[in-house]
Structure 1
């Protein structure tokens, strides 16, 4: 009898934890405020169950209710559910080629207090030092509400070790940089590090144009070109997390030397450095963003030389996209960063080149090709979402059936 009773208790506890997690995920991922009825429909729960979940999450300091917009109907005013302003916070960090950015992200996924610190060089000690200073200041502000740290790097991250072993835009090659450890996060807080393209793909499927889409090809260009293939919101990272290094496919026509040590890589003909070169400018990884922006601005004003340079890059970008569409057959292609800028500047050139580079089966109905909805913030948003995903999986592990739950600060401190 005791065995049956114990099993029932365990089942009830597991069900409660699962429902709490699902409810908090739903509120976190909602495009707007949810009513109790809408939450019930999404979870497939009764009104009584929804009421109990809302009460529990409110008591934990994770949820708040407010009066919803008036509907004009008689009866009690409808309330709307929204994340608590005092709930756990994820600190998101982006290490790019020219700067380090940091943001505080609360439940609901909105970036707050975004700070940018410029990099004077790509030397590992300098980059890590700037990142650690920015991160330490933010952690001091967030305090015990910190649920973890997500880090997006413009480089190659080995998922088996979490080490960055290449970041060509920073000049990192044949290295193994333990960024998590050097930032003082090993064993202190739950931390996740990944390539910016993988994390931007996560962000786009959770909060951007790829939400609810099956297979998404995401391409992020700046200094270099990276990407990710996401299936139902999950990036396909490969054995070591190296999938999506599309910029190093031999799709270039000129056989130009690449920062990776190879020749003829696709990114040598389509990234920001390539655009500057096509316009007759000399640019380094550190100056490429400004140079590319200048060329795009002159092209918009009608300058013929700049326009020709943009169209040349657009044709190379489209040609590579067409090849990738042939390989992956995605439902949607999303461009971010420099790629989105080139698409906006010469959309017809990109589309025509992409269509011409696909097999005939795709030419009549190619997948939509759209710019990212999140722009430069995709890496920060994705870095935070991965940590929140872990948090939702673990936050309620210690919550027993219908007993007092921990405060919002407790799971934040205990996250790993």
Structure 2
């Protein structure tokens, strides 16, 4: 059954004499469309009108199909853009862009979380990069990396966050299709902290906080390698030190007191050192000190000052005090020498002679022995 297009009393209803109704093919499951051609006078060739209407209907169908397709594409594109925007903002990596005028144009959520500034706050600064890199020279290198010489290789930078803490970060740069450079970074502060802790633990004696045996011997080898360099003026003294009567401290007051005595012993050595000494624990109560001096007399003077300090400030325990004593062997290296084992044997023999002849003294070894 049909439906009236207009009520009978409508002006157009009085004017219409004939018409052709043509269905436009379904555009989608829930949409229907029709084409109606109305005329104000009767026509003698309705079949021709139906053919014309069908042709017009087909054209309209094609046009509307294309329009719907475009709308669908626009919706899909909008959804994709929204997805990428969410990805950009929520990605657990640092992403930002700075233009040629040093203004920040992109600043994702991870940047705001890690550094503590919003995009608006960053761009309030005359030079936004100064917030992160107060040092002008460092800032210039960073600016070059994001403006003139971007690289896909990861580079380590140490920016400052809002609270003043310095971060360790890795950055690479990607040139986008419009020529803008996107900076992609990762905050590795915690990882670096863990690496530094592991490195510290691998090279440090847990009790005394001086170098362990392996680390101090590596430093000795490095010093010897430096002596081999042409025109090298490297010179240093090996001072091997052994705390006298340490077993008695453990036996009389316990191992905890013995540990405290070793800690105090190392603390006094550091206080007497000048320049850049390197102190390592070889084992037990025996230590090796690399002292930057060129004359055996300077090394002997160092051990004399150390003994005077122990005499002036005895090691104190809960109910007693003890003046620590030590024996030492000294060997000065002023010329190229690549036999680390030979040097250690010579200075160890000098230490043994000091202990054998009464302790509490320093014996100087010679490379000519």
- Structure-1-length-normalised TM-score: 0.21
Structure with the bigger RCO (C-alpha within 8 Å, sep 6+) is 1
Task: Tell me which structure has the larger Cα radius of gyration.
Answer: 2
- Structure-2-length-normalised TM-score: 0.23
